[in-house]
Structure 1
Amino acid sequence: MPNETPIQRRRRLATNSGITYLSSDFAHVCKAKPDRIGIVAEGDSWFAYPKKWIAFGADMNIVHHLEAKVKQTDTVNLLRMASNGDEAVGMTSGKQLKTLYKVLKKNRDYVRLLMFSGGGNDIVGKNDMLPLLEEYTGQTDFKDCINMPRFEAKIEAIVLAYQRLIWLCEDVMPNAKIVTHTYDIAKPWDQGAEFFWGLIKSKPWVYPYLVRRNIPRKFHLPIIEFMLNEFANGVTHLAQQQAAGGRLVVTPTQYTLRPGSKKDWLNEIHPTEDGFEKIFKKVYAQMRQVEPGLPK
């Protein structure tokens, strides 16, 4: 439109689509369209994994698929806050928690869903996985290759992060719900990420640490399956507690994808477009149970 400033144009486009990455624009859109369902999406790469050409290509994360479903439907105002590599503990403490608190408090009259993806990187992150593993010295049970005291403490820390989210909603927007997922069973394999036709590459996230600890391949999948199951059990148990007040909605997404299938998995810990779509459909079904006004 003529005579628009760059900010005015950006906010007009955000109001039209209902989607923005900027908290200031989100506040503007919420006030302009207060009857829409306000959604804040905070999380890790399962909410933020880039498209093949960064800005172009197939929908490569859960929120990409959500955008495709709700964009320009006049039903949703969506703020995307997720960032690759984020951990649940980090997102619910310090500067990141302060930022999330400000966003939710400022828009408390409009936000009805907080989408959250966190916990996976707390286990398989660069500085997290190795300390959870024991050196292989002939153990016959895969669980003996896990440092259980450290792993149990890690799960407690992740569950506490989710508890902080519950408290945050209780204090700031008691009528809102938190919708999360439990990832899926990622089979360790020597496949990292690639972008721009392979010009940019990353190493695998899990496999190198299992190899470094000399853990035999037959134990690789059982170890990760056990760890992710324990994560899922922890957050699911928290959601079921009376003290949670029904605010945490956990989507059971494990065993949706086939471990190691190249049709379902793009690399070691990230699904393909089709894989993410399968996960999204389950998450979105839970979201629609909470907010039936979302598009079918």
Structure 2
Amino acid sequence: MPIIVSGEAMGNVFWSDSAMMMEGRYPSILAVGDSWFWYPFPGGSLINQLGELVETKEHVIFALGENGAEVVDYVAGKHSKLIRKALKLHGPSLSAAFISGGGNDFAGVNDLRPMLNINCSTAKTPDDCFRPGTDDRTLEWLMRKTAENYEILIGQIMAATGPDVPIVLHNYDYALPTGKGVFGKESTWLRMALDDANVPLALQAGCVRLVIDKLTAELVKLTQIDPTRILLVDSRGCLEPNQWANEIHPKPAGFKKIAVTRWQPVLQSLSLAG
């Protein structure tokens, strides 16, 4: 049985290279991600569920990133050196790479609020709530910036790995702006920004859907860099409202549902899962 080190390893998923070294194991899948790969609470994150799926093919996952990571952190921020180091050490022997990013680029009152109009109380549609144009801190600006950083990371992975190694992206699900945070505390992710902008309650979920749909459109464009190698797991519309633990994280059963119903078919098509 693999050693389980709290916060560092669980089964075939490692968040620490030292924990991997202790067990004498080497990664076959590199997972670069945010809290959907790092969520520390009971039941774990999406990556725990993916670990179970790929374990049937004897794969080992090494996760880099952290809770709250933005895509820029992977290529020009605090995780960029570790990611480049991991790609240099393990790239030639990897069977796949997974990327989870973009959610924290908009999910936060300091990120979402500047993209909204000053007062959205008279808005009729979610589009009406967002500042128009492509200037700094608009939604279009955010999507462009996120896509550019994704493209840099994808390029680094493609350069460091074999020509047939797949890169799997995902787009989360339609998060619910309930105001619910961790342990029942008030969240500062979505609802707070929407309320501050006086977005009508009836439009708030639609605003989040709009952002997720725009992120998805950017990810689809990225798959066109190499459609045979870059794949998108579309998990929109997977979860029921009662399967969310808080505004932006599913419950353990929710993560499992996304893994089994949306990720597993893709992983099976790549011979990464049984």
TM-score past 0.5 threshold: yes
User: Which has the larger displacement, 208-217 or 122-131?
Assistant: 122-131
Partner in structure 2 of residue 23 of structure 1:
17
Instruction: Say yes or no: does 1:212 pair with 2:196.
Output: yes
Structure 1 residues without counterparts, runs of 5 or longer: 1-8, 53-58
Partner residue of 1:170 out of 158, 175, 180: 158
Provide the rounded CA distance (Å) in 2 between the counterparts of 1:27 and 1:19.
13
Partner in structure 2 of residue 3 of structure 1:
none
Provide the rounded CA distance (Å) in 1 between the counterparts of 2:59 and 2:179.
39
Structure 2 residues without counterparts, runs of 5 or longer: none
Partner residue of 1:269 out of 230, 248, 252: 248
Partner residue of 1:51 out of 21, 41, 50: 41
Any idea what the Cα deviations from partners look like across 1:62-109, whole Å, max 9, x if unmatched?
1111233455x6711221224111111222223312210110111122
Letter in 1 for 2:211: M
Provide the rounded CA distance (Å) in 2 between the counterparts of 1:167 and 1:124.
26
User: Would the alpha carbon gap of residues 27 and 105 (structure 1) be closer, same or farther in structure 2, given more than 3 Å must change?
Assistant: farther
Partner residue of 1:253 out of 235, 256, 268: 235
User: Would the alpha carbon gap of residues 214 and 18 (structure 1) be closer, same or farther in structure 2, given more than 3 Å must change?
Assistant: closer
Partner residue of 1:229 out of 209, 213, 226: 213
Instruction: Within 5 Å, give how 1:5-84 maps onto structure 2.
Output: 17-24=11-18, 26=20, 38-52=28-42, 59-70=43-54, 75-84=58-67
Q: Report if the CA contact (8 A) 1:186-1:224 is conserved.
A: yes
Any idea what the Cα deviations from partners look like across 1:151-182, whole Å, max 9, x if unmatched?
00100111112211221022211432211211
User: Would the alpha carbon gap of residues 191 and 103 (structure 1) be closer, same or farther in structure 2, given more than 3 Å must change?
Assistant: same
Letter in 1 for 2:141: A
Instruction: Say yes or no: does 1:279 pair with 2:258.
Output: yes
User: Would the alpha carbon gap of residues 84 and 286 (structure 1) be closer, same or farther in structure 2, given more than 3 Å must change?
Assistant: same
Q: Rg larger in 1 or in 2?
A: 1
- Return the offset for 1:140: 2.7
RMSD: 2.7
- Count of residue pairs brought into register by the alignment: 263
Q: TM-score, normalised by structure 2?
A: 0.85
Provide the rounded CA distance (Å) in 1 between the counterparts of 2:161 and 2:180.
41
Letter in 2 for 1:41: A
Q: Report if the CA contact (8 A) 1:23-1:103 is conserved.
A: no
User: Would the alpha carbon gap of residues 215 and 74 (structure 1) be closer, same or farther in structure 2, given more than 3 Å must change?
Assistant: closer
Q: Report if the CA contact (8 A) 2:13-2:60 is conserved.
A: yes
Question: Taking every aligned residue pair, what percent have the same amino acid on both sides?
Answer: 26
Q: TM-score, normalised by structure 1?
A: 0.79
